[in-house]
């Protein structure tokens, strides 16, 4: 299991998220046919994402901090919100997956 830290900003709110994931490697390719139809020689993809919001900050419209201390329950709620955002936002998925594969 690997992990990265990710900061998500939206709607006057910043969430610091710890993301744990498994990296599944591709098997090396055996070229027995046209390379166009063969598997990649190396690389991998990420799966089994687990999210945990470790801290959060809420700002007002002027950029001043309104609240930056939250209960465990509130952070768990932020985690559920982030999971939903991740499921629905293809751009966010690509951004996080690219960071995971680099490691």
CB-based contact 18:40 (threshold 8 Å): no
Instruction: Indicate the pLDDT class of residue 34, thresholds 50, 70 and 90.
Output: low
5-33: pLDDT as tens digits:
999 999 899 999 999 887 666 555 555 55
Q: Check if the beta carbon of residue 22 is closer than 8 Å to that of residue 47.
A: yes
- Give SS3 for 73: helix
Tell if the pTM clears 0.75, that is, is over it. Answer: no
Domain map (residue ranges) of the chain: 2-102
95 or 35, greater pLDDT = 95
pLDDT-derived band at 102 (thresholds 50, 70, 90) equals low
Taking each continuous run of H as one helix and of E as one strand, the counts in the chain are 2, 4
In whole angstroms, what is the distance from residue 15 CA to residue 18 CA? 10
For the chain, give the percent of residues with pLDDT over 70: 74
Q: What is the CA radius of gyration of the chain?
A: 18
């Amino acid at each position: 299991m690997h992990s990265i830290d990710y900061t998500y900003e939206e709607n006057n709110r910043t969430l610091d998220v710890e993301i744990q994931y498994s990296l599944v490697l591709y098997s090396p390719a055996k070229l027995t046919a046209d390379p166009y139809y063969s598997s990649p020689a190396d690389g991998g993809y990420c799966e089994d994402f687990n999210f945990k919001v470790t801290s959060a900050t809420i700002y007002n419209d002027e950029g001043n901090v309104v609240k930056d201390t939250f209960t465990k329950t509130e952070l768990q709620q932020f985690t559920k919100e982030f999971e939903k955002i991740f499921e629905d936002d293809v751009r966010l998925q690509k951004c996080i997956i690219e960071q995971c594969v680099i490691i």
